[in-house]
Structures are given as structure tokens and as C-alpha cells.
Structure 1
Amino acid sequence: MTQPQRQHRTNWAGNVTYRARDLVEPGSVAELQEVVATAAAAGGRVRALGSRHSFSTVADTDGRQVGTRRLGLEVELEDGDEDEADGPFAVVPGGATYAEVAPVLHEHGRALHNLGSLPHISVAGACATGTHGSGDGLGSLATAVTAVEIVASSGDLVRIAAGDPDFGGAVLSLGALGVVTRLWLRTEPTYEVAQRVWEDLPADEVADQLGAVLASGTSVSVFTDLADPTRVSSVWVKQRTDASGVLAPCLASRAPATRELHPVPGVDPAAASPQLGVPGPWHERLPHFRASHLPSVGDELQSELFLPRSAAPHLLAALTGIRDVVAPALLVHEIRSAAADDLWLSPLRGRDSVMAHFTWRPEPDVVMPALRAVEEALAPFSPRAHWGKITATPGLRAPERAYDLAVFETLRRRLDPGGVFAQDLLSLPEA
């Protein structure tokens, strides 16, 4: 096990300084079990720390943080049923990143259904916080999980699989049930994706056709910086080559870009995934950023609200009305879509959604008033805030009736009766 690290540590963006007294990285699952059991016996607290890409305090604690990258586990493929659609499954170390997992799967002829906008995030952390990509028919990354193995507060290994009554609370759990050691992911035959980008589009056409725009490919993102309320910066369409999409009229009537772009207008596109319609492996096209480069801008804050799909036609108009407050704080605004799921704490629970994502300048004094204005403007659409990003309205993390909080709390108390993995985000007041 690594020696405990006691220096001040922050998340990736630097907006959260962890309160944890130290960080340890066990060298095996057995060592991790000992760390957890020892903390529980002493009445202490433990939180798993992944790639540190969350912008909220989801990974923080006043006790001990544990890293899981040194547990000695490898990516493996495990046979499922005879039907190829049910396997093989990928058995993935919780601390591994998608950038590490995806190439291994591709080399074995397998793929995942989707990826997030950057591949640098840990699998366990992404699933535990509801991270997603885009695609009308595609669920969050957590919906690929068929089983999860955790170290519970007793120090015991617990495996919860699909079909178990507790499964709906075990995958997207904010780390509140234990430390994830391994996940089983549903895979499919590998595939290629071609990415094309349309730039500088009329905002009124995109707004009027937003549903059709988001359905124009396997995975679609709309980007704008709100600098010019009459224009949308770009629309990114990622299309599987083994399927076809129907472009929205505002795209079909125009030629795609002939140069590569970055999601943030004016930024060097070297870090962005390949475009210009050139097909490539799924894991090199579905994310917006290359695994070999620094993700996104690198010095930023992020927030995101999940809205019902019916809100799509009204989204750009609502933001245009507050652009004088929002634009000075904004690097770029992204609109994506995702399919509903039935996970107890999922922002996608029970409703197909359109997501309003904001990449902000790293200036909290400017950002928080702008974010508050966004949340107020979108309040009529019953928004749900992303667990891993900032919010100006704490109650949006767990809006009334959105989640099965009572059922989840029963599961948490059973697996962690002493509150070793207690999570402040689950007890925020309504606001």
C-alpha cells in the first residue's frame, strides 16, 4: 500500500479542495478490505477517489480517501449466454479509465454502447455519478453495467447483479454503498463511427428543429457560446457506419465543415476527436476529445441540467432571454440527449431527456449568478442537476419525487449501517 498522502489535494478543475485527512492507495483488494474495515471499527469515514473529474464534492470526506488504481486488477472478457447479444461481458477494474478500457475491448472485437465526452474518467466514478454521452436512444454509461462488486463497510466483498432487488441502487450510488472494485459491462461487436460538424447555423432554425437535430445521428451535440443570439456555433453529428441517420433540414441543406473544430469556438482543435466524416473506431469518435490530449479547455467549471425531452423546443429561447448575464461567464453551452433508465438516483430516471450543459470560465464570482439565472430560467421544466457538477440551487440535485431516495436509504443503511461512506449530497436541503 502507498504511504498516506497528507498534502492539500484538489479535484481536476481546482474548485474543490478535499477535506480528507489523507489518501491511501491499497495494493490489492485484500488491503482495501482491511482499510475499510479498520476505518469502520474506529468510527471513521472513507470515500473512493477516482479520476477527480467531478466538480462537486461527491468524492470528498472528512475521513480517508482511497484510490483503487493499484489493486492489481485487469480488464477481462467473461462469456455470457450463448446469444452473442448477452456477452461476452467486460469485467473492468473500478479505477480504470475508459481510455484504458476501450482499446482493450476494441482489440478483442467488442465495444460499449456509448462513451462520455472525454475518455479520461474512471469507469466506477462515471457510473456512480450518472455520466453520459449523447444519443436519443442511448442510456447513460451506467446502463451498460450488469453487475458491480464493492467493498462494504464490513470489509466484505459484495456483488450485486442485474435481477437482484438492490441492483437499481447499486450502480449509480454516489459511492455511498462502498468502494467499487470491479464492474461487469455489457458489450457488443465493435463498430466504427464517422463524425461531421456543421458550423455557424441560424439559431432560430436549430431551435425550431432541435428534436430533429438531436435525432440526426447516433450521437449529436449542439454547441453555442451565446455571443450572438442569432447563431449557433456548431452541431456535431457522430454516426455509426453500420446504421444510417436522417439529417434535420437545417443540416441537410448545408455542407458540413471542411476544417476540424474544437467544441469551444476559437480553440485549437488538436485535442478534439477526428472529424471530416473519416470513419474510425468507436472509442476514437464518440468522445469529443482524444485520449492523448488534455480534456476540454482544462481551466473551467461545469454544470448540467437534465430536462424532459419535451423541453427541447424551448431551451435555446429560454437561454437567449438571459444571455446578457450568462454569456460573459460562459465558455460554451452544449445540448445533448439521452434515453430514460430506471436507476434509483439517476437524473434520467423515468424520462427521456435533453441535457443543458455549461462549460464556464473558472471565475466563481461571475459564474454563480449566471448559473442561478440559468436554473431559474429552466425551473418550469423540472430540471435535475448532474451529481458530479456544480449547482447554485442544492435542491436540484434531488428534487422531490424525482428519485427513489427512501428505497436507496434503506439499502444504504443495510450495507453501511455506521455511515462509513456517508455522502453529504444525499442530505442537502431543498432550495
Structure 2
Amino acid sequence: MNRRTTNWAGNIGFGAERVHRPASVAQLQAVVARAERARALGSGHSFNTVADTPGDLVSLADLPRTMELDTASQTVQVGAGVRYAELAQWLQERGRALHNLGSLPHISVAGSVATATHGSGDANGNLATAVDALELVTAEGDLVALSRAECGAEFDGMVVALGALGVVTAMTLRTRPDFDVSQRVYEGLELDAAAEHFDAIAGAAYSVSLFTRWREPVIDQVWVKHRVGDPAPEGTGSGFFGARPARAARHPVPEMAAEHCTEQLGVAGPWSERLPHFRPGSPPSSDGDELQAEYLLPRRNAVAALRALEPLRADLARVLQINEIRTIAADELWLSPSYRQDTVGFHFTLVPDTAAVLPVLARVEERLAPLGSVPHWGKLFTAEPGALRGRYSRMADFAGLARRYDPRGKFANDFLAAHVFGAD
């Protein structure tokens, strides 16, 4: 029975008739095989109905938290229930690292990959770009292994798959040697300076995030994550393109305690403790008391997007907790917003008032759409059904792949019907 299961923020109540928490892959297979309709739920960190189903909702939280390092290939196989905080610490203890992490380490690996969730950095692809293989339970309850080596280029359609091919039980990720990162925060970057020097700012370090509340024509904070051993960012310690170094640790949302954030002030530490913005044991972001939206567009249009949003400052300031701006490297994943193009993401953490937020998002989308924007698959957006299909050149290929793996639509739902598959 479903006792009104909700997502992380509580703005979505899932409509599933039944909710399951299998403790093993065998139990998961049995649940999927019996179900008429099914969807998987990771950490619930989605803000729309991408994970919903009218049938059986399957939480992966109780699956074994397996992590196995292959020392020959230097890849790690990760169970679907594992969260990035667990994986990062485990890899760090073994001298290995992932290429990047999201701002929240609380999110699950499988769910993040499925929706093309990302970190930051001009040279860093989204989190899904680390995936070399996966295992999933198909509509008949079979456990299938898929890999880039065996599937070739088609594997690029299987990674960011929105749960449409089956329920992922494990993923194999490429790792690299561990590395240290120092983090500094700079304050008061004038919007004009951000626009004039955007390329230099975004490319100044391994990972750079710009935060603004849009109350003034100012980027309130710039978080600069410098990989130890790389050339030092411009102005380290004294200023950053006119922004001044913060004298104490900061939280992106100024009203919240900085103790929840990863260490700053230039103190070097492991990648696992610096690439996220928030500590694993602390409340994530606004502790769930928020809504989130994000729009990704070609990197070349970053400055045009800043200028397009500037007239909405007053509207945004009324509903915004913080807007984070990050860059992401191009990839080959069919449903990734970064498919064959470097991108910039405008991520909005918003007040928990859907009625107030949605009209503002509609205006944001109206201004960013001419610049080639698409919404993050797991966040709030207002695009009409069918509007996104023309913005992904491989959408029809992906729909064909989904029909092949799930011909009867067991893993389909209203979200996929509206934004991916369509009437055809």
C-alpha cells in the first residue's frame, strides 16, 4: 500500500498503488516481473513526476550498498542504492577518485546518472560520463548486463535513460587517482565584470560556481575549487576579477549556517571533501524546504543568458533563495543537455511555494528558450508536452531504444509520454 510517498522536497506525492523496498536484486526482479507498470525511486531528489507511476514504485534504498574496485581497469562497480557521499569516501580511502561530484553528496548514483545531473568545470562532463557499464532489471524481470565495450555507440543512449529501459541495479564507473582541492569564496562580483570576463572566470579553476540572488546586478559569491598542482587561479588570495575574498566561510544561501558547507579559505583537502558544496552529515542545501529548477544552454550563450535574465531580477528575487551558474563539458550521451556541446547551467533554488514559483519559471523559460535552453530532467519546468523533443537530436533514436527494451511500456509514465515519447 502507498502511504502517500513523496519526493525529497515534498512537492510531489507519488500516485503509485504500491511502494516496494526490496532488500535484494532477486526480490527486485520478482517485483518488476509481477508489475503491470513500474518505476524506480532513488534518493527522491527530483522535483517533478519523472519517477512517478500509477503502478508499482520501487525504492532502491534497501538494496545492498555494494562497491567493488577493479584494480586492473581502475573502475568501480556501484550498487544502485549507493549515494555519492558513501562512494566518494570509499574511493578516497583506496586512493581513487571520480572526475566530479554534484553540489549535494546526498544524492544516489543511479538516479543522478539517469537524469544527467552534473557538477561544475569547463573540462568536466556530467556525472553520467563516468559510466562504462550497467546492470538493469528489464520488464520481464531479467537481469541484463550492458557495457560500452559490447554495445558500442548505442551505449550512449542507455546511460541517461530516465528509467525508461528498466530498473538499474548497478553501474560501473571509471575512476582516476585521487587529488586534493582548495576552495576559496569571493564576494561582490559586478554583473558587468562577470559578463565581460565570463570565459576566464569559468575556466579559472577545476570547478567554478557563481551564485546570485538577483537582488542587485551582482554575483554575490564565486566559489573557486582549485586542484592542487594546477596553475593558481588569477588573483588568488587578493581578489578575483574585482570580487573580494571572503573573510570567513560562507553558505550559498546567506541566511544559512556555513558550518553545513565544505571547508573553504584555501585549505587544501581531498576531492571528496571539496568538490561538493555541502558536507554529507549536514542538511543538504535548504534541508528540503525548497523547490529547484535548472536550465542548460550552449556555453557560448552564457553571457546572453545573464543579460536575458537581468530584466527579471525583481520577479526572481521574490521567489529565489539562490541561483547557481556552472559550466559543463560536452559529451555523447543522447539525452544529455550537453550532447556534443559545452553547456552552462542556471540552477534556481526557490521558495517552497509552487503557485508563486511556476509563473516566474515560465518567464525564465520564455527568455532562455531562444538561446537553446532545455530544463534539467529532474527539476521543475513549465514546458508544454512535446516542446522538448525538437531540442534533442537523438530523441527519436532513444524512443526506439526504449521500445526495444520495454515494448509494452511497463516503465513508461505520463512524464515520458509528454516530454520524450509523444503520441507516436
- Scaled by the length of structure 1, what TM-score is found? 0.93
1: CA distance, partners of 2:386 / 2:139: 29
Aligned to 1:64: 56
Contiguous gaps of at least 5 residues in structure 2: none
Specify the alignment match of 1:12 in structure 2. 8
Structure 1 counterpart of 2:294, one-letter code: E
Q: Matched residue pairs, number?
A: 416
Q: 1:38 to 1:415 in 2, by over 3 A?
A: same
Task: Output the CA distance in 2 between the equivalents of 1:242 and 1:364.
Answer: 45
CA distance in 2, matches of 1:346, 1:66: 24
2:102 paired with 1:116: yes
After superposition, the C-alpha distances for 1:31-89 in whole angstroms (9 at most, x for unaligned) are: 111111111xxxx1111111001111111100111122333351110134xxxxxx311
Give the Cα–Cα distance (whole angstroms) in 2 for the partners of residues 206 and 236 of structure 1: 13
Which residue of 284, 294, 307 corresponds with 1:295?
A: 284
Code of the residue aligned with 2:224 in structure 1: it is V
Separation (CA, whole Å) in 2 of partners of 1:255 and 1:361? 28
- Secondary structure of residue in 2 paired with 1:380: helix
Large movers: runs of 4+ above 3 Å: 252-255, 394-397
What is the CA-CA distance between 1:339 and the residue it aligns to?
A: 0.4
Give the structure 2 partner of residue 322 of structure 1: 312
Q: CA deviation at 1:242?
A: 2.7
1:29 aligns with 2:25: yes
Could you tell me which amino acid in structure 2 is paired with residue 75 of structure 1?
M
- CA contact 1:212–1:247 (8 Å) conserved in 2: no
Alignment of 1:189 with 2:177, yes or no, is yes
Picking from 260, 268, 279, the partner of 1:271 is 260
**Aligned match of 1:74:** 66
Cα offsets for 1:359-403 (capped at 9, x unmatched): 111111211111111111112201011000000224587240424
Superposed CA deviations along residues 117-173 of structure 1, whole A, max 9, x for unmatched, are: 100000000000000000000000000000010001111111111131431111110
Contact 1:209/1:313 (<8 A) preserved: no
CA deviations 1:226-249 (Å, max 9, x no partner) are 1112x2211000011132254389
Correspondence list, 1:336-375, <5 A? 336-375=326-365
Q: 1:407 aligns with which of 391, 397, 411?
A: 397
Which of 167, 173, 183 is equivalent to 1:179? 167
Contact 2:29–2:141 (Cα < 8 Å) also in 1: yes
Structure 1 stretches lacking a partner, 5+ long = 81-86
Tell me the SS of whatever aligns to 2:219.
strand
384, 387, 390: which one aligns with 2:380: 390
The aligned residue for residue 236 of structure 1 is 223
What secondary structure does 2:200 align onto? helix
1:199 to 175, 187, 204: 187
User: Aligned pair in 2 of structure 1 residues 153, 172: CA closer, same or farther (>3 Å)?
Assistant: same
Q: 2:258 matched to 1:258?
A: no
- Matching of residue 131 in structure 1 with residue 117 in structure 2: yes
Specify the code of the residue in structure 1 equivalent to 2:37: R
The whole-number CA distance in structure 2 between the counterparts of 1:106 and 1:375 is 40
User: Is 1:52 the equivalent of 2:44?
Assistant: yes
Alpha-carbon spacing, 1:236–1:326, altered in 2? closer, same or farther (3 Å): same
Q: What amino acid maps onto 1:358 in structure 2? A: F
Contact 1:233 1:265 in 2 (8 A): no
Higher mean C-alpha displacement, 395-404 vs 55-64: 395-404
1:215 aligns with 2:219: no
- The alpha-carbon deviation at position 197 of structure 1 amounts to 0.4
Displacement of 1:356? 0.9
Q: CA RMSD in A?
A: 1.8
Q: Which amino acid aligns with 2:203?
A: A
User: Which of the residues 152, 159, 163 maps onto 2:145?
Assistant: 159
Q: What is the rounded CA distance, in whole Å, between the counterparts of 1:261 and 1:353 in structure 2?
A: 26
Contact 2:187 2:244 in 1 (8 A): no
Q: 1:105 to 1:135 in 2, by over 3 A?
A: same
CA–CA distance in structure 2, aligned partners of residues 396 and 186 of structure 1: 35
Q: Is the 2:211–2:324 Cα contact (8 Å) retained in structure 1?
A: yes
- For residues 70-121 of structure 1, the C-alpha deviation after alignment (integer angstroms, 9 at most, x for no partner) is 33351110134xxxxxx31111001110011111111011000000010000
Give 2:269's aligned residue.
Answer: 280
- Determine the C-alpha separation between the residues in 2 that align with 1:429 and 1:284: 36
2: CA distance between counterparts of 1:297 and 1:73?
Answer: 26
Note if contact 1:386-1:397 (Cα within 8 Å) is conserved in structure 2.
Answer: no
The one-letter amino acid of 1:47's match is R
Alpha-carbon distance between aligned partners in 2 of 1:70 and 1:321, rounded to the nearest angstrom: 47
| Aligned CA distance change for structure 1 residues 67 and 31 (closer, same or farther; 3 Å) | same
Identity of aligned residues (%): 47
2:297 alignment partner in structure 1 = 307
C-alpha distance in 2 between matches for 1:174 and 1:429: 11
Cα distance change on mapping 1:363 and 1:301 into 2, 3 Å: same
